[in-house]
Chains A and B, each alone.
Chain A
Amino acid sequence: MDLAVAARLNNLYWSLGTVAFIVLGSYLVGRLAMSISAARGAGLLQRRRVFWGYALVSPWLLGFVIFVLGPALLSFYYSFTDYKLGRSMEWIGLDNYRSLLAGAGAYGRRFVQAMYNSAYYAIVGVPLQIATALLMAILVAQPLRGMAFFRLVFYVPVILAGGPAILLAWRYMLASNGGFINVTLKRFAELFPPFDWLYRSFIFVVESFNAFFIGVSRADPVGPLMYTMPALLGLGVCLALYFTASEATRRTFARTVVEIVGTIFLVLLVVRAITGGSFVPRLLGRLGTLFDLMTQRSSLRAATDLDYLTTGYAAQAPSALWLLAVLVGVAAIIGYVRGASRQRWLLGGVGALFGLLAIGATMDGVRYFAAYDTVAAATDAANHHFALFRQVVAQFPDANRVPLWLSSELWSKPSLVLITMWSSGAGMLIFLAALKGVPRSLYEAASVDGATGWQRFKNITMPMISPAMFYNVVIGLIAALQTFEAVYIIQNTQTEQSIASAAYFLFVRTFRQLEIAQGAAASWILAVLIVLLTVAQFRYSRWVHYE
């Protein structure tokens, strides 16, 4: 007998067994619930209700225990061990989490990069996807003929995008050399020269942005949670504070900011506790890195640390310590000059001490830069986190350049985003249902009041469809963090690292390399992140307008 046929038959027996198991299990769960409620002194009618309710819900309950709760607990346990399939395991405590969060070792580094890639899909991909969906929905909602047909057409990608077939077609179309898209772009550019400028500018923008993003992820040696996220968050907070106007909003906003920042610091604290080392010195170290990045000399310091004795850079690079010394020194001197008499001696002492420190550090810095020879400068430039970015920005794409899509780390993530935009029809249908629910009388009233089209959209449509928007954002973010199929199909050896999502990392680590324990730890980090993000979205969903 053919192996496949035998397997199908075998599966059929198991299916019948499963059905029997579920029926029997449901009955037993029902009886159990009933006897518990009887023990609590419930009446006959109530007991009957309990029996039927629990018996009929138990297919799910049993499945939940067997396939969700049990495995989840088990994977939590595995994450603290060094389990590999078919081998005995040992308890190793937080080591898995430590190496992943700290980005230690080749695979920790890859995990951090995968987290960055997932963040890219969430930050860049989801808004683009939602914008596409909304635009499509608005177009299709127009009361014109043939809209049912277009709705159908726009939805087709959704049912196909989950499977490998269409992803392969995309892979073929996106081939950078001889693929349909690039050949067509080139042909257009030949026929119509201004188009060439247009799409080279597009190349320039996309490449610069992605090179910058790659730079950010490389400049972060300890993982996304350590410095980039707080920095970006701080920037966002500053901008938001700057743009919020009235007193009342500012106050509620301040509370929100305190809450978010507090949560993030709490998370950072936990992460630091896991990865070892105390929190505050590392934070100062991060500030130092930030400062070094601003002066673009971060990797130089690392180089001189190694070469200190042999090449004789007899100086320390300006770092966080220099900044600290100068700041404290200046502050203390100002305090001495202007301050109250009681603290004068203290301020004076501190001022003198840090002033001397600042002078020493500054002189050292001057000597350091004097020793900064051309060789060091060249290695520095090549090793710099933002080397790729500088290279991309320095040169506008040549006349015959094409986007490199799947063969370059600068283009692999945009390619994936393009494919997700292509399959944003599900969001379109949700927006469409919401748009249909907006009462026409509101628009009528608004146009009587002389509102323009944009005003009507902003003040009526957007609030009315905000629940749909919220739903799409929540679902979209979860989906972005779990992107797998598309990555699996369109990655290749050159771009695997730059396109891998967290889910893909998990897959490779667990099922290719069979490092079950580390995979479990990674999956729990991802799960906690998703839950935190979802909870935060529900917590700050005041912009959603429910009737």
Chain B
Amino acid sequence: MNDTSALPRVRRQRSDRAGLRFWRRGWRATGVLLLYAVLIGAGIFFLFPVAWMAGTSLKTIEEVGQAQLSIFPETPQWTNYTKQLAEKNFYRAYGNSLYTVLIVLLGTVSSLVVVAFAFSRLRWPGRDLVFGLMLGTLMLPAQATLVPQYVLFFELGWLRTFNPITLPGFFAGGAALVFLLRQFMLTLPRELDESALIDGANPLQLLWLIILPLSRPAVATVTVFLFVGQWNNLVQPLLYLQKAELFTMPIYVAQKNNLQESPIPWQDIMTASVLFVIPVLVVFILTQRYFTEGIALTGSKG
């Protein structure tokens, strides 16, 4: 405590002593301006594709076919959106996406919480071994199991159903997320458990009544991560759905890419893309605090 309160005084003294305050301020101001210029430039680089997507979605097919220079449409073509929304395959895909994401969130988050609780708040022989095993699966590339999983689902007759996409999540899918939740639950004070257990609660009651309410921020973080990952998920749906009626939004959008039309109707593709991206963006803007904290939490014990 002592040295932090001493710091500002030291700094003030030195700048007084140095004199030439005017020049120093001038340099600082230039530096700050330059910094903002760089930041704004970088911001344009990072946001431009999104803006480009939005701009293109409002153009006509003639504009899209020309050499591209302006991000803005000559006159915004809102009919692109009404046309897109009227398409049956589109809202079916949207519904499929919403449905699968909802089921995955429900199943995965609840199982993640239980497993993370067992890893962080309960003491049982073999815990560290099992935990190490789980961390080991982080290293195993997804591709190593993709092929036989496909065979498994094929044998189960689950191709062309939603089961391969939603059900594996119910088994606490995602070791990284278990890790994140566990890290958070470890920070809660131990006395809570002891007093609850003395009162005769069983571990499930402890989890439901005490740990879960306290872990709400971490659960929210895990939920938004899962949401974004699942909404964008392309590989599994691509492998297993195989039927236009079952397509989720990522495949619906990716399929538009394969149209052999010329000129390519980019305005249609981008309209679907904008509609696809909106939920993720909204969720992100509303919950951005959780992203920042969640990533810091996974990285801190690298």
Q: Which residues of A contact B (CB under 8 A)?
A: 2-4, 7-8, 10-12, 14-15, 18-19, 22, 37, 46, 49-50, 52-54, 56-57, 59-64, 66-68, 70-72, 74-75, 78, 85-86, 136, 139-140, 142, 144, 150-157, 159-160, 162-166, 168-173, 175, 178-180, 183-184, 187, 422, 425-426, 429-430, 432-434, 440-441, 444, 467-468, 470-472, 474, 478, 481-482, 484-485, 488-489, 502-503, 506-507, 510-511, 516, 519-520, 523-524, 526-527, 530-531, 534
Contacts of B30 in A (CB 8 A): none
CB distance from A54 to the nearest CB of B (A): 7
- Does B69 lie within 8 Å of A68, measured CB to CB? no
User: CA separation between A497 and B103, bound complex, in Å?
Assistant: 37
CB distance from A530 to the nearest CB of B (A): 5
Contact with A along B146-172 (1 / 0, CB 8 A): 111111101000001111001110111
Contacts of A534 in B (CB 8 A): 139
Contacts of A52 in B (CB 8 A): 118, 122, 124, 202-203
- Does B295 lie within 8 Å of A429, measured CB to CB? yes
- Does A179 lie within 8 Å of B291, measured CB to CB? no
- Does B114 lie within 8 Å of A59, measured CB to CB? yes
Contacts of B49 in A (CB 8 A): 157, 160, 166, 169-170, 173, 422
Known contacts A163-B250, A173-B49, A467-B302; is-contact A511 B295 (Cβ 8 Å): no
List 18 interface pairs A-B (beta carbons < 8 Å), by A numbering: A7-B245, A18-B107, A60-B111, A67-B145, A67-B173, A75-B145, A154-B46, A156-B281, A163-B250, A163-B277, A165-B253, A183-B67, A506-B146, A523-B143, A526-B141, A526-B143, A527-B141, A531-B140
The B contact surface, by secondary structure, is helix
CB distance from A536 to the nearest CB of B (A): 12
In the complex, the 4 A-B pairs of residues with the closest C-beta atoms, listed nearest first: A63-B171, A53-B124, A471-B302, A165-B273
Contacts of A172 in B (CB 8 A): 52, 56, 266, 269-270
Contacts of A142 in B (CB 8 A): 35
Interface size class for chain B?
Answer: 35 or more
- Does A511 lie within 8 Å of B43, measured CB to CB? no
- Does B170 lie within 8 Å of A178, measured CB to CB? no
- Does B141 lie within 8 Å of A59, measured CB to CB? no
Known contacts A49-B124, A162-B228; is-contact A15 B43 (Cβ 8 Å): no
Contacts of B100 in A (CB 8 A): 11
Interface residue from A72, A86, A484 paired with B148 (Cβ < 8 Å): A72
- Does A530 lie within 8 Å of B141, measured CB to CB? yes
Known contacts A15-B103, A50-B124, A142-B35; is-contact A156 B172 (Cβ 8 Å): no
User: CA separation between A85 and B52, bound complex, in Å?
Assistant: 43
CB distance from B176 to the nearest CB of A (A): 10
Which residues between 194 and 234 of chain B lie within 8 Å of chain A, taking CB atoms?
202-204, 228-229, 231-234
Known contacts A139-B35, A526-B143; is-contact A511 B150 (Cβ 8 Å): yes
Contacts of A144 in B (CB 8 A): 32, 35-36
B38 in the interface (beta carbon within 8 A): yes
Given contacts A52-B122, A53-B126, A430-B296, 5 further A-B contacts (CB under 8 A): A53-B124, A166-B273, A168-B256, A426-B295, A519-B147
Contacts of B204 in A (CB 8 A): 56
Q: Which residues of B contact A (CB under 8 A)?
A: 3-4, 7, 10, 32, 35-36, 38-39, 42-43, 45-47, 49-50, 52-53, 56, 66-69, 71, 92, 95-96, 99-100, 103, 107, 111, 114-115, 117-119, 122-127, 130, 133-134, 137, 139-152, 154, 160-163, 166-168, 170-173, 178, 202-204, 228-229, 231-235, 239, 243, 245-246, 250, 253-254, 256-257, 266, 269-270, 272-274, 276-277, 280-281, 284-285, 288, 291-292, 295-296, 298-300, 302
- Does B302 lie within 8 Å of A68, measured CB to CB? no
Contacts of B253 in A (CB 8 A): 163-165, 168
Contacts of B140 in A (CB 8 A): 68, 72, 527, 531
- Does B299 lie within 8 Å of A468, measured CB to CB? yes
Interface residue from B154, B166, B231, B246 paired with A15 (Cβ < 8 Å): B166
User: CA separation between A173 and B32, bound complex, in Å?
Assistant: 32
CB distance from B122 to the nearest CB of A (A): 5
CB distance from B185 to the nearest CB of A (A): 12
CB distance from A478 to the nearest CB of B (A): 7
Known contacts A15-B167, A75-B145; is-contact A49 B38 (Cβ 8 Å): no
- Does A173 lie within 8 Å of B50, measured CB to CB? no
Interface residue from B117, B168, B295 paired with A63 (Cβ < 8 Å): B168
User: CA separation between A4 and B161, bound complex, in Å?
Assistant: 9
CB distance from A167 to the nearest CB of B (A): 9
CB distance from A542 to the nearest CB of B (A): 15
Known contacts A7-B245, A150-B43, A489-B257; is-contact A56 B53 (Cβ 8 Å): no
Contacts of A425 in B (CB 8 A): 46
CB distance from B120 to the nearest CB of A (A): 11
User: CA separation between A520 and B149, bound complex, in Å?
Assistant: 11
Contacts of A484 in B (CB 8 A): 235
Which single residue of chain B is at the shortest CB-CB distance from A481? B141
Known contacts A160-B50, A164-B253; is-contact A59 B170 (Cβ 8 Å): yes
Known contacts A52-B202, A56-B114; is-contact A139 B270 (Cβ 8 Å): no
Known contacts A64-B137, A484-B235; is-contact A171 B257 (Cβ 8 Å): yes
- Does B273 lie within 8 Å of A169, measured CB to CB? yes
Interface residue from A49, A136, A511 paired with B239 (Cβ < 8 Å): A511
- Does A430 lie within 8 Å of B228, measured CB to CB? no
Residue among B66, B144, B163 facing the most chain A CB atoms (10 A cut-off): B144
- Does A57 lie within 8 Å of B68, measured CB to CB? no
User: CA separation between A418 and B270, bound complex, in Å?
Assistant: 21
